[in-house]
Structure 1
């Protein structure tokens, strides 16, 4: 019976590990993905869910990828019906909590891709935390589409100093 249980658990664990990637000190990343963009696009967005299973808050302070010239932490805010992207120096993940990077919210702004990326490809991204710890991830490129339901809102890029 124990052998059968172990045999069934291994594939389940492998499926879970593909969706959730862990770093030390209790931080886990779920569902890292990048929206596919036209080959001429100068910027893309990266999304994920950061879970902090530790007893202390953690702060994401930077990200980088060999597939892009620059990666920045951003947050979209809406003021008077106008959506603005605001650079974030850090994103705090509360102890026992999570932060979702999603359209119309926090996201990685991936600037100047070095080559066109197609749906299904994988992209390496390294996250850096305030304590100096780094976490290497593989982001999945997914088919493009709408801008995450931002219809009816205008986008102001003037606050982006890249």
Structure 2
């Protein structure tokens, strides 16, 4: 009988710790990803998405990576004293339950130095790097217009 209690206790402890790990591994979700198709020979494209934080803690995005682009970055378009400018964004913090919209004319992925020619219908992979070292991956279809 003691062996049965030991086995059941171990199983219960393992399942409880698995629940804790699953809760701690909460990560932001990339929704509606897409890259705007550009003319042949273009060296810079733009990526858009909705980034949602379903977690109970804030999440910090520090960088973007892609094997399909030599220099991906997060940028924000803004008007300063009547002049439109693009600025590199060092990091983004999403509060619990918050969503950020990456859209034309605002926050976006600046995808420079494509590794291959991209046309409508192609797909590229993009990873958002979190402050804790984790990465959130999504496939971005190349499209002429937003989905």
TM-score by length of structure 2 reads: 0.78
Mark the runs of 5 or more structure 1 residues left unpaired by the alignment.
1-23, 146-162
The answer for the alignment partner of 2:69 in structure 1 is 68
Poorly superposed stretches of 4+, deviation over 2 Å: none
Q: Is the 8 A contact 1:37 1:144 kept in 2?
A: no
Q: State the shift of 1:81 in Å.
A: 2.4
Q: How big is the shift at 1:144?
A: 6.1
Pairing 1:5-154 to 2, within 5 Å after superposition: 24-143=25-144
Matched residue SS, 1:25: coil
Unmatched runs of 5 consecutive residues or more in structure 2? 1-24
Query: 1:82 deviation in Å?
Result: 1.4
- Computed over aligned residues only, the root mean square deviation of the Cα atoms, in angstroms, reads 1.5
* Aligned residues of 1:38 and 1:116 also touching (Cα < 8 A): no
- How far the C-alpha of 1:99 sits from its partner, in A, is 0.5
**TM-score where L is the length of structure 1:** 0.71
Answer yes or no: is the 8 Å Cα contact 1:61–1:91 preserved in 2. Answer: yes
Q: CA deviation at 1:80?
A: 2.5
CA deviations 1:95-127 (Å, max 9, x no partner) are 111101111111111011122211111111111
On the 8 A contact 2:27/2:59 being kept in 1, the answer is: no
